[in-house]
Chain A
Amino acid sequence: MQKTKVLNLLIPTLSVLLAFLIGMIIILCLGSNPFQAIGYLVKGAFGSATNFGNTVVRAMPLLFTGLCTCFAYRCGVFNLGGEGQFLSGAMAAITVSLLIGSEGWWVTILAMLAGTVMGGLWGLLPGLLKTWRGLNEMITTIMFNYVAALFMGYLYTTALREGSVPQTAPVPDMTKIGRVFPDLRITWGIAVALVLGVAVWYFLFNTSKGFQLRAVGFNQTASSYNGLSVKRYMLAAFVVSGAIAGLGGACDILGTQFRLISGYGGGYGFDGVAIALIAQLHPIATMIVAYFFAVLRVGSTTMQVGTGVPTSVIDIIQALVIIFAVAGSSMQYLPKFRAFMLNLFEKKEAVSE
C-alpha cells in the first residue's frame, strides 16, 4: 500500500520535471534562453496581484471540466464531451440572463441552474445512446461537442447577436457573478468550483453510492453480479459530469466572459481530460493540476512576448506530462516492472531487518 502511494505522488512529479526538461530543450533549440523563458513564465503568472488573479480566473473553467472528466471516468464512462457540456451550460446561462428581461442575484442563480440542467441534458444524450444502443461514448460525445459549438455559432451570429460584430450582448451588470476582491478579476465562481471539488471527492470516496459508482467503473461484470444496476450508474455519471461542466460554463460566462464570441470555450474539454488523467482521477489532485495548467497558460503569454517562444510550447509540455504520467502509472502493472519493484523492496526490507 505504502509503495503505491509513494509511486502515485512520485510519477506525476517526475513526469512534470521530465516534460519541463524537454520543453526547455525545445526552447534552447529555438535559440532562446530556457531559464529566461521560465523566468518570464513565473513573472507572468505571479509577478503581480493582477497576474495571480488571472491565473485563478483561468483555472476556474478548467476546474469544472477537470472534475467533469474525473467524475465520469471513475464510473468507467469516457466522457470526452466536457467542451460541449461546458458550452451548452454557458449558452443556457446567457440565454436566461438576456431573455428574462430583468437582472439581479436571483437571475444569476436561475442562470446557473439553467446552465447546470442544460449541461446535464447534454451529458444525458450520449448517456442514453450508450446505455440504450451501446454506442461508444467517445465518438458520440465528440459529435455532440461539434453540434454544441456550431449551435453557439448560431446564437452569436444570428439568434442573440448584438450589433455588427458577431457576438451576443453582455450579461447585465447586476446578473454578473460578483468579485471576491474588488481589484482582482477572481469571482465567487471559484468558490463554487472548490466546494464542488471537495463535494465530488467526498461523494466518491466517503459515501456508499460513490463507492458503488467507482465499483461499476472498476469492474462492470462484478458490479452487476452484486446487484448494482450498471446502466443506471453510468447514466448518472453522464448526467452529473455533464452538469458539472455545464455549471462551469454558466460560472464562466456569468463571471468572466460575459458574452458568447467566436472560439469561446475551445480546448477546455480536452484540457479537462488531460488534467484529470495527470491527476490520476483524484478530485483534489485534479484541482491542483488544473491550477498548474492555468499558471502555465497565463505565464506563457508573458513568455511569448518576452522571448518570442510561441505559447504552444506549453501545450506540448502539457501533452508530454500526460504521456509520461500515464506511462508511469501503467508501468506499475507491467509484470516485469512489478517483479523488479518487488525485488527492490524485499531487498530493502531484508537490509533493514
Chain B
Amino acid sequence: MNWIAVSDLLISAVRMATPLLFVALAELYSERAGLVNIGLDGLMSFGALVGFLACYWTGNPFLGVLCGALGGVLVNMIYAFCTVTLAGQQIVYGMAINIFAPALASFIYRVVFGVSSTLAQATLMKTVAIPGLKDIPFLGKLLFDQTPMVYAVYLLVVVTAVYFNRTKSGLNYKAVGEYPKAAETMGINVIRHKYFASVICGFLAGMGGAYLTTCYVNTYSDGIVAGRGFIALAAVIFGRWSGSGVLMACLLFGFFDALQLRLQIGTDLIPYQLFQMIPYVMTLIALTLFGSRIAGPKAKGKPYYREER
C-alpha cells in the first residue's frame, strides 16, 4: 500500500471511530454513575431514525443530530425511571430498550414512508476544513478535514477527561458510581446524579446513532447500528473507564472497521464475509488479551435503595 492508501484508510478509521466514540462516552457517563446500560444499540437505532427524519424534513444535518440526541434522551428516560426509581435490574432494562427502541424506529419509519417504499435519502453533513491546519501534510487531512461531529467528539473526550479527574463535581459524580451510600451521606444527591447520567447517556448515544444517518450514509435501514452499541460497550471496558482509554479503544475498533471495508474491495479470492467479521473478532481478541477482570466503578449494575440500611 502506498501513502495515499494508508492516509485514506486512517481517515476512514477516524470516520468509523466517531459514532463508536460518542456511544462509548455515553456508556462511560452512565457507568460512572453506577448504571450499566446495555441498551446502547437501541438508543443508537432510535437516534439514527429521529436524526434521519429531522434531516430529511429540514435538510439540516445539524438539526438532525440534535433531534437524534433528544430522541435518545427520551428513550433512555424509560431506562432511567425503571432502573433508578423502580430499582429494576439494569441488564434486563438495557435488553428491553434494545428490543423496544429498534422496533419503535422501524415502526415509525414504516408509518412515515409506507410499508414498501424506495429508500428515502437525506442530505449528508459536509466536512468542514479548518483553515491553516488542514494544510499540514498527512495529518491535516486526517484530523482537520472532517465533519464538525468529529471535532465535537474529540473535544468531548478532553472535556470528559478533565471533568472526571480535575473537577470537584466530577469526583462527586464518580463517587456515585463507586459507593453511593457514602456519596449520599456526604450530601450528594445520588438519584439526581443517576438521572443526570441517563440524560447524558441518552443524548450522546442518540448523537452516535444520528451520526450514522447524517454523516455516514444518507439513508435509514433497520439494523443500521449492527452491534456498534455492544462494540462501544467493549471499548469502555477495554479503555478502562477513562476518557483517553476509551478514545484509544474506539480508534482501534474504528480502524478495524475501516480495514475490513478496505479489504473487501481489495480481493475476490477470500469471501467478503470473513473480512466483515474482523471488527467483531478483533473486539473479542482485544478483550481477551487486555480486558480481563478490570473492575470499573464498584457499584455499577447494582440497584440503589435510598431507604435501605
Using a CB–CB cutoff of 8 Å, the interface residues on chain A facing chain B are: 30, 78, 80, 129, 133-136, 138-140, 142-147, 150-151, 153-154, 157-158, 266, 270, 273-274, 277, 304, 308, 310, 312-313, 315-316, 318-320, 322-323, 326-327, 330-331, 333-336
On chain B, the residues within 8 Å of A274 by CB distance are 95-96, 99
On chain B, the residues within 8 Å of A78 by CB distance are 91
Query: What would 14 more interface pairs be, CB under 8 Å, given A147-B277, A316-B107, A333-B87?
Result: A133-B292, A135-B287, A138-B91, A139-B283, A144-B284, A146-B277, A158-B271, A158-B273, A277-B92, A310-B110, A316-B103, A323-B96, A330-B89, A335-B308
Interface size class for chain B?
35 or more
Shortest A160–chain B CB gap in Å is 12
A335, B305: Cβ atoms closer than 8 Å: yes
Shortest B274–chain A CB gap in Å is 7
B86, A334: Cβ atoms closer than 8 Å: yes
| Proximity string of chain B (239-280) to chain A, C-beta cutoff 8 Å, 1 when within and 0 when not | 000000000000000000000000000000001011011001
Q: How far is the CA of A350 from the CA of B63 in the complex (A)?
A: 61
A335, B234: Cβ atoms closer than 8 Å: no
B82, A312: Cβ atoms closer than 8 Å: no
Contact of A270 among B92, B98, B237, B283 (CB under 8 A): B98
A-B contact pairs, 15 of them (CB 8 A): A30-B111, A133-B293, A136-B233, A143-B234, A270-B99, A274-B96, A308-B115, A310-B115, A312-B106, A315-B107, A319-B104, A326-B96, A327-B82, A327-B88, A330-B87
B230, A143: Cβ atoms closer than 8 Å: yes
Shortest B94–chain A CB gap in Å is 8
Please name the residue on chain B nearest to A143 by beta carbon: B280
B103, A139: Cβ atoms closer than 8 Å: no
On chain A, the residues within 8 Å of B38 by CB distance are 138
| Interface assignment of B100: CB less than 8 Å from any CB of chain A | yes
Using a CB–CB cutoff of 8 Å, the interface residues on chain B facing chain A are: 38, 78, 82, 86-89, 91-93, 95-96, 98-100, 102-104, 106-107, 110-111, 115, 223, 226-227, 230-231, 233-234, 237, 271, 273-274, 276-277, 280-281, 283-284, 287-288, 291-293, 303, 305, 307-308
Interchain pairs with CB closer than 8 A, number: 140
Contacts A140-B284, A326-B96; A133 near B226 (Cβ below 8 A): no
- Among the interface residues B102, B230, B231, B291, which one has the most CB atoms of the partner chain A within 10 A? B230
Contact of A154 among B78, B274, B288 (CB under 8 A): B274
B95, A147: Cβ atoms closer than 8 Å: no
Shortest B40–chain A CB gap in Å is 11
Contacts A147-B280, A277-B92, A336-B307; A320 near B100 (Cβ below 8 A): yes
Please name the residue on chain B nearest to A263 by beta carbon: B223
Please name the residue on chain B nearest to A312 by beta carbon: B107
Shortest B33–chain A CB gap in Å is 18
Contacts A154-B273, A323-B100, A335-B305; A143 near B283 (Cβ below 8 A): yes
B110, A312: Cβ atoms closer than 8 Å: yes
On chain B, the residues within 8 Å of A158 by CB distance are 271, 273
A146, B284: Cβ atoms closer than 8 Å: no
A147, B110: Cβ atoms closer than 8 Å: no
On chain A, the residues within 8 Å of B87 by CB distance are 330, 333-334
Contacts A139-B234, A142-B227, A326-B93; A315 near B103 (Cβ below 8 A): yes
A150, B99: Cβ atoms closer than 8 Å: no
Q: How far is the CA of A146 from the CA of B284 in the complex (A)?
A: 12
Please name the residue on chain A nearest to B92 by beta carbon: A326
Please name the residue on chain B nearest to A270 by beta carbon: B99
A330, B115: Cβ atoms closer than 8 Å: no
